[in-house]
A and B are shown apart, each in its own frame.
Chain A
Amino acid sequence: MQPNSAAIVVLVGLPFLAAAVAPIVYRYLGDRTAYFAAAIAFISLGLVSSQHGVHGEVVLPWIPSMGVTLRFYVDGLALLVGYLASGIGVLVFTYSASYMHGEPGKAKYYATMLAFMGSMLGVAFAADLLAIFVFWELTSISSFVLIGHYTDERDSRYAARKSMLITVGGGLFMLVGFLILASHAGTYDLVYMLEHADEVRSGLASAGLLWPVVGLLGIGAAAKSAQVPLHIWLPNAMEAPTTVSTFLHSATMVKAGVYLVGRFRPLLLSDEWMALFAALGLITMTVTAILAVSATDIKELLAYSTASHLGLIIAGFGFQNAYGAETGAFHILNHALFKAALFLVAGIVAHEAGTRAIDELGGMWRDLPITAGITVVAALGMAGVPPFNGFYSKELLFEAAYETAVHLGGLAWLYPAVAVFGSIFTFLYSIRFLQLFFGDRPDALGEVHSPPVTMIAPPLLLAVLAAIVGAMPQLAVDTLIQSVVGSATSGHAHAFHVGLPTSLTPPFVMSLIVMGTGVITYPFYGRIHAALNRLFEVVPPITANWWYDSIVYGVNRRSVQVAERVHNGLLRTYATWTFFGVAALTISGFVATTATLPAELPITLAPALILVLLVAVVAAVAITIAPSHVAGVLTLSILGFMVAIFYILASAPDLALTQLTIETLTLVIFLLVLDRLPAFYGEIDRMRAIRDGVLSIAVGMTVTVTVLLSTAATPTMKIAEYFVEEAIPQGGGGNIVNVILVDFRAFDTLGEISVIAMAALSVLTLVALRNGGETA
């Protein structure tokens, strides 16, 4: 069945439209804007589900002259991400009504959240590489705004900048990967590439471009999905309100990287692909699970855990066998269900208990019974305990790793070993989170209120869904996951079955090892936690944050130093650096292209011309030894008039006229400002004189070489002839220069006169209004 193009366009466009009107809606509805946003998300959810089971492409022309088309592609993977973005959107917006009560900047908050939802839906459904990139960066930008929600707080600003730098920077790597891919495939159309996957892949491989493309897309995905060592922005992103963490930084935006990996899996699946993504995913899964154990704040714990589970999904998509795709596809859903629920629980805890420190919380099940129930389902799912939802996808990962190890042997046994090792830590921190509600209640913990219905209903719904998936995993597979696996697999995907294991299969044994070791080591959780934190304190370079801070602050310091030297407020310094830069760039450009100077000069000079030029040279020399400013300016104008005469002799009357009038006017302006300048500057420093002399010789040589090189080329004169021939029939004018200016190239002229107007405005503001901006 073909997708309904109107539904898809409305789906992607509506959230942006709603974002635009959100500030106005907020003025009238106040806190109830949350329900407006939830309604928009609900409409989106309805539109996504109207396309359920659909597979196909929608094509709309966007920039036809550049061959850019807005293409949307609907398939299982796109629908899954669409369901998450819109469905969790409904819940998060409903939750916001109570949670954001009394917070600052709510109009901005709702507008950005809606814009984010639109961008995420755009990422999911776009089928043109450029469109994917645009939506991708839009999600990064809205994430930046939302993380920096508390604009007055230093930590928020640090976190927002960090996430911006990493995710947008990663996006640029992805763009380069896209450009290589597109230039190789000859189109930006993703659907075409997926249909000709084998062709494109073997073409890339034979051109030696498979590694670069896989690597560049990998950097983009790793930055977005917080893979080691780019995971460091995610824990800081928890500075945002909890709703934002739930929506962007657990359920949807961080899934964009995972989505990218799943989307390009059928196109690029190869040994290189597996080497990169299986290793990256498993390392991330393990490292960030260990970091989660070292966390002291519940949102920090969940953030590291998110990175860890994203690593699991990436690793799943990395494995070449069918279980790999099944792991990735199934875990996207499972993770979104339990992690979004847990984030909302964290929001309830922070809101009602007034603290997020793990040490200060415990035994809250009497205060928050429903929340405790939700946490049991979600945390056990996260730990991978049967019969909760996370168990099934983790089994699939173990199976994928085990099969790969059996198939390849040797070092490949590291895959299942690392997977088991990392999962032990996952088990540990999941149980630790659960312990917030059980065990001893710290005495310092004050009264804990019960949350309002709008805050309890969304996580409850998510937990119920997670429990249903846990109880009837095959149902989820049949309705949704099977088609997602189809999108992530080249060729035909076999129907797959999940369920509780009935015999001691290798993956089940691995799960048993994880749970057994977890239960045994859990009593030592406090000691592991303390030891890890001590390790990070003693050896800071093993943390990625240390590297980030050192680099960023180091670069900051350097740029301040450079700035002091390059633009220190003195005009002559600016001029020196600008001229030096231009000359150096031009010359190095010529050197790089190995341009050679023509052997003989292409022009012959008439005696009259030589005379005029000689006068000009004499004037130029005279300027440097002129005793006063007036004398200098007048001598300079001699040079200008000589150039004008040169133009007349070279039969360019228009240029000569312009040169003459401009020369006169410049002279007048110079004379106007002259008496503002000091008459005597003092003795000139010898070193500076030498430096300036060298610089002016270098600039002069650069210009000379440029003129020689650019006039040495002998074009076929087509352009000039065209203008000569067409000036009268097309432009109706005999003055070619003027016809070019106002007719053939009028758009250029429009730009030039805009520049003149801007210059006048700048003079006006800089000179006349510098003391009082209120007037005029």
Chain B
Amino acid sequence: MTTVIFRTATKFVVPIIMLVSIALFLQGHNAPGGGFIGGVLTASAFALIYIAYGLDFLEDGVLGRDAQTMIEHISHGVVSDYRHLFAIGLGIAAGSGLLAILLGVPFLTQGYVILEHVPIYGEVELASAVVFDLGVYAVVIGALLTILSVVGAE
């Protein structure tokens, strides 16, 4: 599946998928989308890269690191980044709930403010739930990519 057509298509498609996934994540609160869908979409973008360029491409070509074996991938390679990503995501999600406790309301209580008269956008809503959703987003990307790269390396 590493034809020139496929690789070229991947180059164009991956940025679009990433953009869509971020858009889906941000608009999630009011329109179809959200952290989970966004995360899965990002993971599929990475899957596309893996298939087109091979598993080591991210490591060698993009990040410029030199990883040889699978075990190295896991201990300090890109897999360990994914691992950190879902750990951080869990931390963000749980931490956003703890913040609510600090403010004296039950765990994971969410709130929002609506900012008026913002240039260009006019009215912008800031919801605390977005922080929680960011955690979801990170966990989904991290976990799926971990599974994908470990299974893929097999």
B29 contact set on A, CB distance < 8 A: 731-735, 738-739, 742
Determine if A749 is an interface residue (Cβ-Cβ < 8 Å).
yes
Of chain B, the residue at the smallest CB distance from A747 is B108
A757 is an interface residue with CB less than 8 A from chain B = yes
Residues 200-227 of A, flagged 1 when their CB comes within 8 A of B and 0 if not, give 0000000000000000000000000000
Please judge, given known A-B contacts A732-B112, A734-B30, A742-B129, whether A760 and B86 are in contact too, CB under 8 Å.
yes
Interface string of A659-702 (1 = CB under 8 A from B): 00110110011001100100000000000000000000000000
> Does B105 lie at the interface of the complex (its beta carbon under 8 Å from any beta carbon of A)?
no
Q: Choose among B34, B44, B70, B86 the residue that contacts A742 (Cβ–Cβ < 8 A).
A: B34
- From B30, B34, B36, B71, A775 is in contact (CB under 8 Å) with B71
Decide if A475 is an interface residue (CB 8 Å cutoff).
Answer: no
CB distance from B77 to the nearest CB of A (A): 10
State whether the Cβ of A657 lies closer than 8 Å to any Cβ in chain B. yes
Q: How large is the interface on A (under 10, 10 to 19, 20 to 34, 35 or more residues)?
A: 35 or more
| Nearest CB in chain A: distance from B16 CB, A | 14
Is A563 an interface residue, CB under 8 A from the partner? Answer: no
Q: A661-B41, A738-B29 are in contact. Are A764 and B74 (CB under 8 A)?
A: yes
A711 contacts partner chain B, Cβ-Cβ < 8 Å: no
- Of B33, B34, B135, chain A has the most CB atoms within 10 Å of the CB of B34
* Interface flag for B120 (CB, 8 Å): no
Q: Does B53 contact A (CB under 8 A)?
A: no
**In the bound complex, what is the Cα–Cα distance between A672 and B70 (angstroms)?**
16
Contact B89 A776, beta carbon cutoff 8 Å? no
The yes or no answer to A30 lying at the interface (CB within 8 A) is no
Q: How far apart are the CA atoms of A760 and B79 in the complex, in Å?
A: 11
**Bound: A257/B115 CA distance, A:** 67
Q: With the chains together, A747 CA to B139 CA distance in Å?
A: 15
Task: Report the minimum CB–CB distance from A751 to chain B (whole Å).
Answer: 10
| Beta-carbon contacts under 8 Å, B91-115 to A | 93-94, 97, 107-108, 110-112, 114
B14 within 8 A of A: no
| Interface check A763, CB cutoff 8 A | yes
What residues of B have a CB within 8 angstroms of the CB of A737 in the complex?
A: 34
When chains A and B are docked, how far (Å) is the Cα of A764 from the Cα of B80?
Answer: 10
Which residues of A are found within 8 Å of B89, using beta-carbon distances? 753, 757
Inter-chain CA distance A738–B79, complex, in Å, is 29
**Residue A750 CB within 8 A of the other chain:** yes
Is there an interface contact between B129 and A768, defined as CB atoms closer than 8 Å?
A: no
The answer to whether A654 and B34 touch across the interface, beta carbons within 8 angstroms, is yes
**A742 and B110 contacting across the interface, CB-CB below 8 Å:** yes
Binary A-proximity of B28-64 (CB < 8 A = 1, otherwise 0): 1111111111001101100100010000000000000
B135/A753 in contact, CB under 8 A: yes
Per-residue CB contact flags for chain B residues 6-23 toward chain A (1 = under 8 Å, else 0) read 000000000000000000
Contact B44 A664 (CB under 8 A): yes
Residues of A within 8 A of B75 (CB): 775-776
Q: Is the CB of A672 within 8 A of B93?
A: no
Whether B90 contacts A741 by the Cβ 8 Å rule is no
CB–CB B97/A742 < 8 A: no
Residue of B nearest to A668 (CB): B47
From the candidates A665, A731, A738, A754, name the one contacting B34 in the complex (CB within 8 A).
A738
Given the known inter-chain contacts A757-B90, A760-B146, please indicate yes or no for A665 contacting B110, CB distance below 8 A. no
Interface presence of B136 (CB below 8 A) = yes
A531 CB to nearest chain B CB (Å): 70
Q: Does A719 contact B (CB under 8 A)?
A: no
Q: CB < 8 Å: which of A662, A669, A749 contacts B148?
A: A669
- Once A673-B151, A747-B107 are accepted as A-B contacts, the answer to whether A733 and B129 lie under 8 Å apart by CB is yes
Known: A664-B44, A768-B71. A753 touches B129 (CB 8 A): no
Q: Flag if B151 contacts A733 (CB, 8 Å).
A: no
Shortest Cβ distance from A729 into chain B, in angstroms? 10
Residues of chain A within 8 A (CB-CB) of B90 are: 753-754, 757
- CB of A749 to closest CB in B, whole Å: 6
- Measured between beta carbons, the chain B residues less than 8 angstroms from A753 are 89-90, 93, 135-136, 139-140
How many Å from the CB of A772 to the closest CB on chain B? 7
What residues of B have a CB within 8 angstroms of the CB of A664 in the complex? 44
Determine if A650 is an interface residue (Cβ-Cβ < 8 Å): no
Residue of A nearest to B90 (CB): A757
- Chain B residues closer than 8 Å to A764, beta-carbon distance: 74, 79, 83, 146, 150
Whether B37 lies near A657 (C-beta < 8 A) is yes
Contacts of A741 in B (CB 8 A): 34, 36, 133, 136
- Does any Cβ of A come within 8 Å of B125's Cβ? yes
**B71/A772 in contact, CB under 8 A:** yes
Report which B residues bind A (CB closer than 8 A): 24, 28-37, 40-41, 43-44, 47, 51, 70-71, 73-75, 79-80, 82-83, 86-87, 89-90, 93-94, 97, 107-108, 110-112, 114, 125, 127, 129, 132-133, 135-136, 139-140, 142-144, 146-148, 150-154
Q: Would you list the 9 A-B pairs with minimal beta carbon distance, nearest first? A: A732-B112, A760-B143, A733-B29, A734-B30, A661-B40, A653-B32, A742-B129, A746-B108, A753-B139
29 A-B pairs within 8 Å (CB atoms) are namely: A657-B33, A668-B148, A672-B151, A673-B151, A732-B112, A733-B129, A735-B34, A741-B36, A742-B35, A742-B136, A747-B107, A753-B89, A753-B93, A753-B139, A754-B90, A756-B86, A757-B87, A757-B89, A760-B86, A760-B144, A760-B147, A763-B146, A763-B150, A763-B151, A764-B83, A768-B73, A768-B150, A768-B153, A776-B75
A-B contacts besides A669-B147, A672-B152, A759-B143, 20 pairs, CB < 8 Å: A654-B34, A658-B37, A661-B41, A664-B44, A665-B148, A731-B112, A732-B112, A732-B125, A732-B127, A738-B133, A739-B29, A741-B133, A746-B129, A750-B97, A756-B86, A759-B147, A760-B83, A764-B83, A768-B79, A768-B150
